[in-house]
Amino acid sequence: MAKSTNQNKQMKSKSKKLSKRQRRNKIIVYLMITAMVLSAFTAGLAHFINS
């Protein structure tokens, strides 16, 4: 019983290495989110300046 719980903890603690495609997709998602935030910020800034 103790061995199986120890093995489960070891499996969970090991970080799974992402493939190149998964890493690239993750980076693209983060870039898109930051681009959306920046565009919303600049749109708000433009609205503030024009009014």
pLDDT tens per residue, range 32-44: 999 999 999 999 9
Please provide the average confidence, as pLDDT, over all residues in the chain.
Answer: 84
* Contacts for 48 with CB less than 8 Å, ≥ 6 apart: none
Both tokens of 47, joined, read 């609205």
Rounded CA-CA distance 28/23 in Å is 9
Query: What is the reported pLDDT for 36?
Result: 98
What percent of the chain has a predicted confidence (pLDDT) above 90? 59
CA atoms of 15 and 23, how far apart (whole Å)? 14
The pTM (predicted TM-score) of the whole model is 0.60
Contact 39, 47 (CB under 8 A): no
